[in-house]
Structure 1
Amino acid sequence: MSDQPLDGAVALVTGASSGIGAATARRLAREGAAVALVARRRDRLREVASGIAAAGGHAVAVEADITEPDRAEGAVQETLDRLGRLDILVNNAGIRLLSSALHTAVEEWDRMVALNVAALLHITHAAVPHLIYAASTSPRQTADVVNVGSAAARAARPSSSVYSLTKSGLSAFSESLRRELLGERVRVSVVEPGAVDTELVDHLNGTTRDAARRQLAGMEALRPEDVADAIGYIVTRERRVAVSQMLVRAGDQTW
């Protein structure tokens, strides 16, 4: 018998081409799960999958733009076709574009809503029936949805109004879904990272990017692996334990 708690389980991780998503995929693979890596950058997905394979794990690259409902459903179906089942969904894909309401372009708001909210809804809707089935047939007797939120859901700051809106909405959606799926033995959790050193900062415009980098320079930010550890902890609990929400801040973080 394997001593890996996720042996035989299948996880789907969105935004898995870099940062928190890639680190989470590697963590779940070490715990024994086969992992479907979902993102738009196929070359980066293949790099992550190759790294997991070199470490003795199993991962497949699933290229998809999950802001499109059909592509999100297709990503779930491809996971089932290639890996046979779905036990864990990690909704990590997201974007953080910071700017004031006066100076931002509405297209930036639309991009955040499309990826941070709509894409999460698309993939979750497609995955839930299969997670319910997995919970009823798995030796673990449970399945998991983990939504990666943000400390910005608790402390909205200037220039982050719509980003905070998307992450606050994620938390509310997660709590409602948690209650809906209680009887199905599908756990729903939210991990809210604080300041993390990822390439999300590179998506900001010049002035805001420089300000964000100065802010990070004044502290030791979280690493993607720190957030992956939190996710790994949540999904490896025994069925009787549900970690519904976890806030993970950098030790020096004041907000």
Structure 2
Amino acid sequence: MKMNDITGTVVAITGASSGIGEATARLLAEHGALVALGARRTDRLDSLVAEIVAGGGRAIACEVDVTSASTVVDFVARTVDAFGRLDVFVGNAGVSSLSPISELDTAGWSSMIDVNLRGVLNGIAAAMPVFQTQGRGHFVTTVSTSGIKIVPTQAVYAATKNAVRTLMEGLRQESTDGVLRTTSISPGYVQTELVDAIADVRIREAAQASMATMGIPAAAVARAIAFAIEQPHDVEIGDLTIRPTRQG
């Protein structure tokens, strides 16, 4: 992949222990970015950091629960301590608890609200002061095509993702002073672990089957994220949708 020079760009990524976050960390580090990896599964993070460092890159791992504002603040602080600044914050952590609304999975609803929406807000709150002090910064957030085409069992999940889409557009409009860039990345079916925790067996197996038959690799989304990051600071990729060509 030919990419504009991102050598030395400091990128913090949540949800970096698997899927899109892991693929993004690998790709950016391969092209010279300095990456801080945040997730709850630190054993996976440690293995990924070791791999990146062995390949000549620079990376650190931090235990992060995006529903806890203090751990996200600590993540940003540790990134700045390690690399001297923060250029890009990739809010990628997400959960999917799919079911018909009539099943009243209130615990699943709360989890999606806390991770998918509140987690993004916590990332903004943690990184914004650093970006304002530096005079520039970039928020990249993983949204979803579920918020573009609403289908049964995905209503609450889509609602959290559309809330984030609205949030990012509002932030963009408030940030015309040249300090911030915002990018929303909306993936379709991607080969990740996102649906593996769905409690309803039939819904889980159907989602897994769709991923297996048409899901694109997480590396494809990582390339989209890299494309947004590599643009000059006066160029903003505001909203980017990436899906399998077979997805309806």
* Distance across 1 between alignment mates of 2:119 and 2:17: 16
Deviation at 1:240, TM superposition (A): 3.0
Deviating 4+ runs (over 6 angstroms): none
Superimposed CA distance per residue, residues 125-144 of structure 1 (whole angstroms, 9 cap, x where no aligned partner): 1101212333x3xxxxx531
Is 1:224–2:185 an aligned residue pair?
no
Q: 2:156 aligns with which of 151, 162, 165?
A: 162
The match for 2:202 is 207
| Mapped pair 1:81 → 2:65 | no
User: 3-state DSSP class of the match of 1:114?
Assistant: helix
How far apart are 1:239 and its partner, in Å?
Answer: 2.3
| Deviation of the 1:213 alpha carbon | 2.2
Q: Distance in 2 between matches of 1:227 and 1:16?
A: 13
Aligned pairs (5 A) from 1:91-110:
91-110=91-110
Change (3 A) 1:215 1:66: closer
TM-score by length of structure 2 reads 0.94
The Cα shift of 1:38 comes to 0.5
Q: Deviations over 1:38-68 (max 9, x none)?
A: 1111101111111211221111001121201
Give the Cα–Cα distance (whole angstroms) in 1 for the partners of residues 175 and 132 of structure 2.
8
Please state how far the C-alpha of 1:247 moved relative to its aligned partner. Answer: 0.5
Partners of 2:13 and 2:38 within 8 A in 1 = yes
Partner of 1:139: none
Instruction: Give 1:216 shift.
Output: 3.1
Which residue of structure 2 lines up, in the alignment, with residue 48 of structure 1? 48
Normalised TM-score (structure 1): 0.92
**Map of 1:135-146 to 2, 5 A cutoff?**
136=135, 142-146=136-140
Structure 1 distance, partners of 2:238, 2:4, is 23
Separation in structure 1 between the aligned mates of residue 47 and residue 4 of structure 2, nearest angstrom = 24
1:240 to 222, 225, 234: 234
59-68 or 25-34, larger mean C-alpha shift: 25-34
Q: Check conservation: 1:4, 1:31, Cα contact below 8 A.
A: no
Amino acid at match of 1:88: V
CA contact (8 A) 1:66 1:119 kept: yes
* CA displacement 1:141-162 (0-9 Å, x = unmatched): x531101100011111100111
Residues 195 and 204, structure 2, Cα contact 8 Å, conserved in 1: yes
Q: Which residue of 2 aligns with 1:32?
A: 32
CA offset digits 1:181-238 (Å, max 9, x no partner):
2214311010000011101121112221111123334x43111100000000000012
Greater Cα offset, 69-78 or 147-156: 69-78
Which has the larger displacement, 122-131 or 223-232?
122-131
Contact in 2 for aligned 1:131/1:186 (Cα 8 Å): yes
Q: Could you tell me how far 1:4 is from its partner in structure 2?
A: 6.6
- The RMSD of aligned alpha carbons is 1.5
Partner SS for 1:102: helix
Q: Size of the alignment, in residue pairs?
A: 245
**Distance (Å, rounded) in 2 between the aligned partners of 1:52 and 1:157:** 39
